[in-house]
Every structure is written in C-alpha cells, then in structure tokens.
Structure 1
C-alpha cells in the first residue's frame, strides 16, 4: 500500500508540474511575457502557487524549464550526432534548416526570443548560457578539428546564419511578409532561404578544402 501511495504522489507531482508548464505556454501565447506572474500562472494551472516553489524552486526556475523545453539549440545534443565523415558539412546544413523550420512553426519561442532582447532576466540569461554550452560541445566535437586554424571563421559564419534565421522568422508577419522580395510566409520562400543556408555551408567547406 505504501508503494502505491508513493507512486501516486509522484504521478500527481508530475501532472501538477505539467500543468504549470502548460500554463506558462498559455499565458505567453495570450498575454505575452509580461503576463507571467506567479498568481496568474497558478490560476491558469489550477494548482496552488506554493507548489511552484515546491516543484521548481520559484517562478524563474519554472520559466527556465519551459523555455529550455522549447529552445532549439538547448536541446541539440552533440552526443547523439550522426557519424561525421565530411567534417560536419551535412550535419551543419541539417541543423540550420531544422532550426529555420522549428523557429518558424513555434510562435511562443518567437516571443521568448523577443523577450530575450527586450529585457534582462536571469531565466533568459540561463537559456542563452545553455545554448552556448551545447554549441561549444558541437564546435569542439565536429567543426573545430576539421577547420583547425579556420575554426573561428566557421564559428563566425554560423553566428551570422543562426542569428539571421532568428531575425527572418521574427520579422515575417509583424510588419511585412517579404524580405528582399522573398515571401517568408509561403513554402516556396522558406525553401529559398533553406536552400541559401545549405549553399553557404557548401561554399564554406569548398573554400576550406581548396586551401588545404
């Protein structure tokens, strides 16, 4: 009987945690990040706000966990990367095109990205740091050994491409639908952007191979 009671408590805790995380998503979607107050989160979840502190340690930690669950680069695990036989060329293209599609389809992530440039907050800094740690792992394992003395150049190019992906997806549908004449709201426009990302990566690797 005691084991069943313990198992039941664990399930109740997990359900309550999920309700809190879902509540953060709902509020972010309807009110934006300014609506993420402890009382509003608890009311939306239908769970006593004291449980936020019991389960997460506080509102910031709850928001941290929600953001981390959405963030693309925080969930990229270098240990699960496919076998690299080309210095990471195909894997780089795969990651960039997947990021583009992921950000394009996730409105709440877009709001979090805007929040990250509009307000200084520990929870957002933590996620930025997590992105950097995961990115560093990928660079160390895949690109740096291949590019050697040109590794920083590869990193700089990736920084431009990744930030460009964020900006294009934040830009579309807010003040305009086209960028450089490309309709970003249409499948054809998205394919053009993803094709350009792949082309740039190919050129980076081709240029490196010519030098070596």
Structure 2
C-alpha cells in the first residue's frame, strides 16, 4: 500500500486568489490589446495559470468576461451613483447622480481604456459589457424615488444624452487637454462641468421637495 498522501483539493482561499489573478489578467489584456486579444489561452498566459482553471472557475470566455464586467471595479454600482443619502429634490438628486457617476469613472482609468476600445471595435464580446451596463442603468432607474421626477421629462432619454456627452468628454480627456475651451484633463475643468450640470438640472427639474425615497 502506498504511503504517499492523497492530493487534497484546492482550498477556497487559493481558488479565490486564482480567480482574482484571472480577472486582473482580463483587465490588463483589454487595456493593452483590446477585445481581439481576448481568448482563454491568452488570458491564461497573462495570468500565469493553466487554462483548465479558467474553465473550472468561469466555464469559458463569455462567462469570464461577464464576471469581470460585473465586478464593481469596472462599472459604478447603483449605490455608488445614488450616494449614501440621496438628495430630496429632483434637481439636486439628478445633478448629484451625474457628478458621482463622473467621479466614479474618473477613478477607473482601466474602465475608460476599455470603453475607448469598445467605441472603435466590433466584437462579439463587447455586447456582454454593454448588457451589464444596461442592466445597471435599469436598476438605477428602478431605485429612484417614486414620483420625484416629472412625467413630462423622459428620464432615460435625458440620461442617455447627458451620459453620452459626459462619457465622450471622459474618453477625450485621455488624449487631449482642452475641449471647447474647457481644460478637461484638470480638476478645475471638471469642476466647471459639474457646476454647469447643477444649473442644467435646475432648469429641467422642479426644485421643490416631493416624496422621499421609496414612497408610493
């Protein structure tokens, strides 16, 4: 009878560390080479692990990218955008959410790099990240206080227009210093933009308090 000890299964801590290595490798590959470089073999080489572990922990490339996109480090969560104590009138709530969203993305340079790749690349995997962002947007809309925003304003459409403009400025700030006279690569430039968001939201939304969050 062999005295050699049986090989024990990997500990949960080791599995978590390996998953983290793989997810970090996805982000590095996306930033450096774009969606075309993503594949099980490439991610395994980047992470320094056997590709079998990618299938074991994630099931495949689609599920791996989905796990990476759902990580709060990629896209701001609903709680992060709403804030701990959301404002109690429509104008301040709207401008507060927009400003927190800007600040959250500015803290995620890797996300901005990936968004830049996504804007210029058509790839089957890009739809996975787009779906995750759409889901977060729907969750945010569902979490807003009932009755606070005027039904005359198409809030999703307004969010799309303003959000697209802000995202474009964020992406441009990676490569240019000034856009339309605004120094978008500096904190002072973004302070001007945020102040203008306050004015814009005051013009669009009523300023009087309405219902509290979650009220029917």
1:173-188 to 2 correspondences below 5 Å? 173-174=174-175, 176-188=176-188
Once the 2 structures are TM-superposed, how far is the Cα of residue 161 of structure 1 from its aligned partner? 1.3
> In the alignment, what sits opposite 2:170?
169
> Are 2:35 and 2:123, in contact at CA under 8 Å, matched by a contact in 1?
no
- Corresponding residue for residue 191 of structure 2: 191
Higher relative contact order (CA 8 A, sep 6+): 2
Point out where structure 1 has 5 or more consecutive residues left out of the alignment.
none
- Highest Rg: 1 or 2? 2
Gaps of 5+ in 2: 1-7, 210-216
Greater than 6 Å deviation, 4+ residue runs: none
CA distance in 1, matches of 2:99, 2:133: 17
Question: Which residue pairs with 1:94 in the alignment?
Answer: 96
Please state if 1:55 is matched with 2:82. no
Match of 1:137 among 128, 136, 139: 139
Q: Measure, in 1, the Cα distance between the counterparts of 2:147 and 2:131.
A: 23
Post-superposition Cα deviations, 1:155-180, rounded to whole Å, max 9, x if no partner, equal: 32221111111100111242x32111
Q: What do you get for the CA RMSD once the two structures are aligned?
A: 2.8
- 1:58 CA drift (Å): 0.7
Q: 1:72 aligns with which of 75, 81, 91?
A: 75
Residues 150-201 of structure 1 show CA distances to partners (whole Å, capped at 9, x for unaligned) of 242x332221111111100111242x32111011111111111111122212
122-131 or 195-204, larger mean C-alpha shift: 122-131
Closer, same or farther: CA 141–26 of 1 in aligned 2, 3 Å: closer
Q: Who is 1:202 aligned against?
A: 202
Separation in 2 of the partners of 1:89 and 1:207? 6
Q: C-alpha distance in 1, partners of 2:83/2:106?
A: 23
Could you say which residue in structure 2 is the equivalent of 1:17? 19
Q: Report the TM-score, using the length of structure 2 for normalisation.
A: 0.78
Q: Residue in 1 aligned with 2:115?
A: 113
Q: Distance in 2 between matches of 1:83 and 1:113?
A: 29
Q: 2:214 matched to which residue of 1?
A: none
* Greater Cα offset, 52-61 or 35-44: 35-44
Structure that is richer in helix per residue:
1
Instruction: Compute the TM-score of the two structures, normalised by the length of structure 1.
Output: 0.79
Residues paired across the two proteins, number: 200
- Displacement after TM superposition at 1:144 (Å): 6.0
